[in-house]
């Protein structure tokens, strides 16, 4: 059975802001989730703290341990551009991130990104599950995370096939473990 190379492909960038913020660039710079959010240094309207909170929440909402942080960062970075032209969205995002922090402070005396326990962070997300902020963030992430072509190989999905001649010669019927009739 033809297996595929599951190392995530770092070969093209998918986000509009270009090389400075695409996952490839993020990878090259070694950017990862963290309170410092050094990767968020060139934001236009959202603060690095807000962006760090969103990225941490993104991983907590759709946790895949084999996905590097840069994909979650790439999934939330578009909010900075969108917030620049959409005041309602900007307020929703900023207030939502602030509420995550407020809940974290109230429960544990520290910011959301500084909570070490995943279960503690997930409990806070569950508390906010019914809010428009959470619905918007989850709904956007289900596209902005899983529609990154770079992550597809990690899940064993091969994407477009027409340019490779389809699967007719590439394993469409190569399953080899089923019980005999």
Partner 1 sequence: MAQFDLNDDGVVVIIGSGAGGGTLGNELAQRGARVVILEAGGRHEIEDFINDEWASFTQLAWADTRTTGGSWRVARDFPNLPAWIVKAVGGTTTHWAGASLRFTAHEFQARTQYGAIAGANLLDWPITLAELEPYYAQAEDRMGVTGTNGIPRLPGNNNYKVLAAGARKLGYKEFHTGNMAINSEPRAERTSCHQLGFCFQGCKMGAKWSTLYTEIPAGEATGRLEVRPNSMAIRIEHDAQGRASGVVYADAEGRQQRQRARLVAVAGNSIESPRLLLNSASARFPDGLANSSGQVGRNYMRHTTGSVYAVFEKPVHMYRGTTMAGIVRDEAAHDPKRGFAGGYELETLSLGLPFLAAFLDPGAWGRGFTSALDSYDHMAGLWIVGEDMPQAENRVTLDPRVKDRHGMPVASVHFDDHANDTAMRRHAYGQGRALYEAVGATRSFETTPYPSTHNLGTNRMSASPRDGVVDKWGKAHDLPNLYVSDGSQFTSGAACNPTLTIVALAIRQAEHIAGRMARGEV
**Residue ranges that bind partner 1, judged by CB under 8 A:** 1-4, 61-64, 66, 122, 125, 138, 142-143, 145-147, 152, 155-163, 165-168, 170-175, 177-179, 181
Min dist. Cβ of residue 154 to partner 1 (A): 9
Question: In this complex, which beta carbon is closest to partner 1, that of residue 43 or of residue 61?
Answer: 61
Min dist. Cβ of residue 25 to partner 1 (A): 23
H or E segment at 179? none
Min dist. Cβ of residue 72 to partner 1 (A): 12
Question: In this complex, which beta carbon is closest to partner 1, that of residue 20 or of residue 155?
Answer: 155
Min dist. Cβ of residue 131 to partner 1 (A): 13
Q: What SS3 class is residue 18?
A: coil
Question: In this complex, which beta carbon is closest to partner 1, that of residue 2 or of residue 11?
Answer: 2
How far is the C-alpha of 27 from the C-alpha of 13, rounded, in Å? 11
Min dist. Cβ of residue 127 to partner 1 (A): 13
Cα dihedral 89, 94, 100, 106, rounded to 10, equals -140
Angle, CA of 62, 67 and 71, to the nearest 5°: 80
Min dist. Cβ of residue 62 to partner 1 (A): 5
Question: In this complex, which beta carbon is closest to partner 1, that of residue 41 or of residue 63?
Answer: 63
Question: In this complex, which beta carbon is closest to partner 1, that of residue 41 or of residue 171?
Answer: 171
Question: In this complex, which beta carbon is closest to partner 1, that of residue 20 or of residue 146?
Answer: 146
How far is the C-alpha of 158 from the C-alpha of 149, rounded, in Å? 9
User: Would you say 122 and 110 are in contact if contact means Cβ atoms under 8 Å apart?
Assistant: no
User: Would you say 43 and 51 are in contact if contact means Cβ atoms under 8 Å apart?
Assistant: yes
How far is the C-alpha of 43 from the C-alpha of 41, rounded, in Å? 6
How far is the C-alpha of 146 from the C-alpha of 139, rounded, in Å? 11
């Amino acid at each position: 059975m033809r297996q595929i190379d599951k190392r995530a492909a770092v070969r093209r960038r998918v986000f509009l802001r270009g090389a400075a913020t695409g996952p490839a660039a993020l990878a090259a710079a070694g950017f990862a989730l963290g309170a410092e959010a050094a990767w968020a240094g060139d934001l236009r309207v959202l603060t690095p703290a807000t962006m760090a909170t969103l990225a941490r929440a993104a991983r907590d909402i759709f946790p895949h341990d084999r996905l590097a942080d840069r994909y979650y960062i790439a999934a939330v970075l578009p909010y900075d551009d969108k917030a620049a032209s959409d005041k309602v969205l900007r307020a929703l995002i900023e207030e939502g991130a602030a509420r995550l922090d407020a809940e974290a402070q109230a429960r544990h005396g520290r910011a959301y990104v500084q909570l070490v326990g995943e279960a503690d962070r997930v409990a806070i997300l569950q508390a906010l599950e019914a809010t428009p902020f959470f619905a918007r963030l989850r709904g956007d992430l289900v596209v902005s995370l899983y529609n990154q072509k770079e992550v597809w190989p990690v899940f064993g999905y091969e994407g477009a096939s027409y340019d490779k001649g389809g699967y007719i010669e590439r394993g469409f019927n190569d399953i080899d473990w089923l019980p005999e009739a």
